[in-house]
Structure 1
Amino acid sequence: MSATSRPAMRLLSTRLAQLQRAPAASKLRPSQVRHASRYSAPSKRSYTAAPTQDSYFVNPSGEDAEPRHPTAPARNPLDARAVQEAFEEKRQYHLRRMRFAGMGLLLSLVGLGAVVWNLDLDDMDSVKAEREKAKSGWKLQMDASNEANERFQGKEVVVIGAGEGKRIMAQGKGEEIELVQTGTSSVPHFPRTIYLPASSKDDPNAATPVPGLVTAAQANSPVNPGNVSGQEEYTLVGLGIRTVSFLSIQVYVVGMYVRTQDISGLQAKLIHLVNPEASTLVPAEKEALKKKMLDPVASKELWSELLNVPGMKSAWRISPTRNTDFAHLRDGWKTGIDKRTAEARNEARKIDPSAETQYDAEEFGQSMRKFMTTFSGGKAPKGSVMILTRDQQGALDIYFEAKPEEKTKEIQHLGTVDDERIGRLIWMNYLAGGKVSSEAARQGVVDGCVSFASRPVGSVETMVT
């Protein structure tokens, strides 16, 4: 090797030694970046720490700062693609913030609307009036509750007695009406007994009376006390409030009534469903009856038996807790009917896929159309009364009373649907199955039926009369 090449080899050996040591240095100092010329001397090489990245959620430089992920590499401001990516990332960031803000505003408006919807201004006025009367030294007479100054059908409401023996009465115009508390200030009371027109099919003077029917009694007869103008007395079995949505918005109060002279037959059927040889039920049997009436499957069988025709006369009294209309009430009942018919079809087609049910017939479709057209263009203000009655042959009669406090006006008869399937499906939607229109109403009816079954047959009618 010539003498001129030896210095070059020495320089090359030094360079190779530095290259071999570079990986080890990088392992010891992974957070450092080497900034040195490829051809600089080893003694002049320097290492500078890499700048820390800004947090993805923090923009210390202000609103227009560019949000980046901590592991994202630094961008070259002269790179057009990098600038476009930064702009798009910033745009998506602000869009996300706008979406979250919009969702928060929407939820706030929904919550405010729900509060306003459930706000009872009439109740607030009555509370204000009570406070003013209390300040002026006014006191309630008798053992009255907070609702004692309210009125029911134009009569003053008073509470007599206290505890379990307490009675709520509407007194005035020479008559008294016993009331039951509903649990809501919008419609605070329901009457314990009501009077409804007798069906034309029950006319004892009819040329061809229907077999198996108990004809309507004459006015003020012992079996139908208080009967005026061919009306019949019905007794409350149980009631409850129908609510909708997860906010439990109250829609209406609904109560089931049974014609008073049919209660003994209902008692006998309820008792015999549990113990065919008993005349009344003991505590263990009452619990068994209640469990059966609340069971999703057994309740369908039980009420199918109780609603057979010819059978008892019954009615539902519905009083809206806020202003609504006929279409809204009708759509709720139609939804329940559609659900029940769909369940019947599914059960039938599990056995035979080509099977048709009684609800697939053209006659049923015509009855549904008649039911829908019965509720046409009417308003149902808060506190009004809608009554659905089902006679012994299952025919559905629909009545409406816009202002119950004005008893000078007769109750309005909206129409009749003769197909017994329509009424039976509405009744079943309140009383039977896993999910009902109002669980509170079903619980009230079940408690009332158990109370009937715990007394000897015929004793409830005597108590009412």
Structure 2
Amino acid sequence: MRVARSLHPTPLLRSLARSSRLSFTPARAQCLQKHPSPVQCRTFLRRQRPSGRVVEDLNVNRMREKSYQYYIHKRNFLLCGAISSAFLSCYFAYLLVLELRKPKKLDSGLPNNADPFTTDAGSKRKTVLHDAEGREIVPTGNSTVPTFPRILDLAIGAEAGQEEVNGVQYTLVGLGVRTVTFLGLQVYMVGYYVATQDIAALQSRLVKEINPIATTLVASEKDTLRQALLDPEQGEKLWNSILQEVRPRSVFRIIPVRDTDFHHLRDGFVRAITARSQGNNAEFGDEAFGLAMKDFRSLFNRGKVPKSREMLLCRDTAGQLTVTYDDGKTGMGSIGRVGDERVSRLLWLNYLAGKQVASEPARANIVEGIMEFVERPIGTVATRVL
């Protein structure tokens, strides 16, 4: 027969309970607080040695939030820097484009008002200065090629393709800069010269175009002539007749403002001639014109053209084209000629008239130079120059 267990604790259990309660008395707790047992803990970098104080609990969520906010702020800061850099690059590129399109007069050493496009007495006239040797010069407004001579003296012999002369004198009509691309990068300065002895014939043809009985043009007639020369169709028709009928001896003086090469210049010339010859097979579709263009291309099978080197495109009374170049070693010399007058005529029209010209500033300045001719009686301009 089993003896029923007593529901009451035995004396032994009651003794253990009493001893356990005695071990956690307030005095015991106070003692443990003053003298805690050694506790070890880890940090992110190294093991922390036991210290004599109670370690605080670490708030991991708060640390993660702070780290997240730090990297968010860092990302936003770098993003703002990248956007600002892109904006400033675009802005300074825009300012650079504006400066490239402005006429340059930085280091020309000329007076501030020495501008070939200055308005004077109701028309735009060339500003004529004198250099240290007393020669007349015209400022270009460009720092690389600051001036062009007003008078050009050439003595090209018959072996170079020009008629034998003892120094033909040419007078500057107008000048301007040739630019390319939408940035307006300057390539070369170009000036148009007419033989001083042939100015009277040019004057007569231009004056008679507006007033057949006049020897000079008044202000209203000058405006009519100016509009005709600037008009794409009328201007091309007028200059085409002058180059074919009057045939004044003339020169285009070309000086690069940056390093280039003959192939680049040739491509520009050929494109202009080809564009103006298209659509007129009756005049330019024969084999002779094709051979003349082949000869023209061969003239430019050369190397580099450093900036400030002078090149002259000369057209004589027969319309023959002679190209001369100053290589900086042997001086100015001929590099060849083309006998077909159609080649030089189309090349001249590329600067003088049409819907698109090689240099709009040059065409506009040439027209203003023509206005200076026609406002004086026929034959007096050459006398004044000489």
- Picking from 391, 400, 405, the partner of 2:325 is 400
Once the 2 structures are TM-superposed, how far is the Cα of residue 428 of structure 1 from its aligned partner? 0.6
Q: Is residue 417 of structure 1 aligned with residue 338 of structure 2?
A: yes
2:348 paired residue number = 427
Q: Classify the secondary structure of the residue corresponding to 2:350.
A: helix
- Picking from 360, 371, 375, the partner of 1:450 is 371
Percent identical among aligned pairs is 39
Within 5 Å, give how 1:78-93 maps onto structure 2: none
Once the 2 structures are TM-superposed, how far is the Cα of residue 357 of structure 1 from its aligned partner? 2.5
RMSD of equivalent CA atoms: 3.6
2:358 paired residue number = 437
Q: Is residue 249 of structure 1 aligned with residue 185 of structure 2?
A: yes
| Aligned partner letter, 1:269 | R
- Number of residue pairs matched? 293
Q: Is residue 383 of structure 1 aligned with residue 319 of structure 2?
A: no
Equivalent residues of 1:238, 1:441 under 8 A apart: yes
Q: In the TM superposition, what whole-angstrom CA distance separates every residue of 1:356-390 from its partner, at most 9, and x where no partner exists?
A: 33222111111111101101223211111111011
Distance of 2:136 and 2:300 partners within structure 1? 31
- Picking from 263, 278, 281, the partner of 2:199 is 263
Q: Is residue 171 of structure 1 aligned with residue 96 of structure 2?
A: no
- Picking from 145, 160, 179, the partner of 1:187 is 145
Q: In the TM superposition, what whole-angstrom CA distance separates every residue of 1:66-111 from its partner, at most 9, and x where no partner exists?
A: xxxxxxxxxxxxxxxxxxxxxxxxxxxxxxxxxxx9xx79x96x94
Equivalent residues of 2:100, 2:183 under 8 A apart: no
| Aligned partner letter, 2:186 | Q
Distance of 2:347 and 2:256 partners within structure 1? 17
1:309–1:374 Cα change, 3 Å: farther
2:288 paired residue number = 363
| Aligned partner letter, 1:387 | L
| Aligned partner letter, 2:384 | M
Q: In the TM superposition, what whole-angstrom CA distance separates every residue of 1:194-236 from its partner, at most 9, and x where no partner exists?
A: 1122452999xxxxxxxxx9x766xxxxxxxxxxxx2211000
| Aligned partner letter, 1:278 | A
Q: Classify the secondary structure of the residue corresponding to 1:457.
A: coil
Higher relative contact order (CA 8 A, sep 6+): 2
- The runs of at least 4 aligned residues of structure 1 exceeding 3 Å deviation read 164-167
Equivalent residues of 2:160, 2:334 under 8 A apart: no
Q: In the TM superposition, what whole-angstrom CA distance separates every residue of 1:215-263 from its partner, at most 9, and x where no partner exists?
A: 766xxxxxxxxxxxx2211000001111112211111110100001001
- Picking from 277, 285, 298, the partner of 2:221 is 285
Equivalent residues of 1:197, 1:231 under 8 A apart: yes
Q: In the TM superposition, what whole-angstrom CA distance separates every residue of 1:34-75 from its partner, at most 9, and x where no partner exists?
A: xxxxxxxxxxxxxxxxxxxxxxxxxx9x99xxxxxxxxxxxx
Equivalent residues of 2:100, 2:184 under 8 A apart: no
Distance of 1:165 and 1:452 partners within structure 2? 12
Distance of 1:165 and 1:461 partners within structure 2? 17
Distance of 2:350 and 2:340 partners within structure 1? 17
1:453–1:201 Cα change, 3 Å: farther
- After TM superposition, the score normalised by the length of structure 2 is 0.67
Equivalent residues of 1:321, 1:382 under 8 A apart: yes
Q: Classify the secondary structure of the residue corresponding to 1:264.
A: helix
Q: Classify the secondary structure of the residue corresponding to 1:433.
A: coil
Distance of 1:297 and 1:147 partners within structure 2? 35
Distance of 1:367 and 1:182 partners within structure 2? 34
Higher Cα Rg: structure 1 or 2?
2
1:185–1:425 Cα change, 3 Å: same
Equivalent residues of 2:318, 2:341 under 8 A apart: yes
Equivalent residues of 2:160, 2:322 under 8 A apart: no
Distance of 1:166 and 1:415 partners within structure 2? 34
1:202–1:189 Cα change, 3 Å: closer
Equivalent residues of 1:309, 1:392 under 8 A apart: no
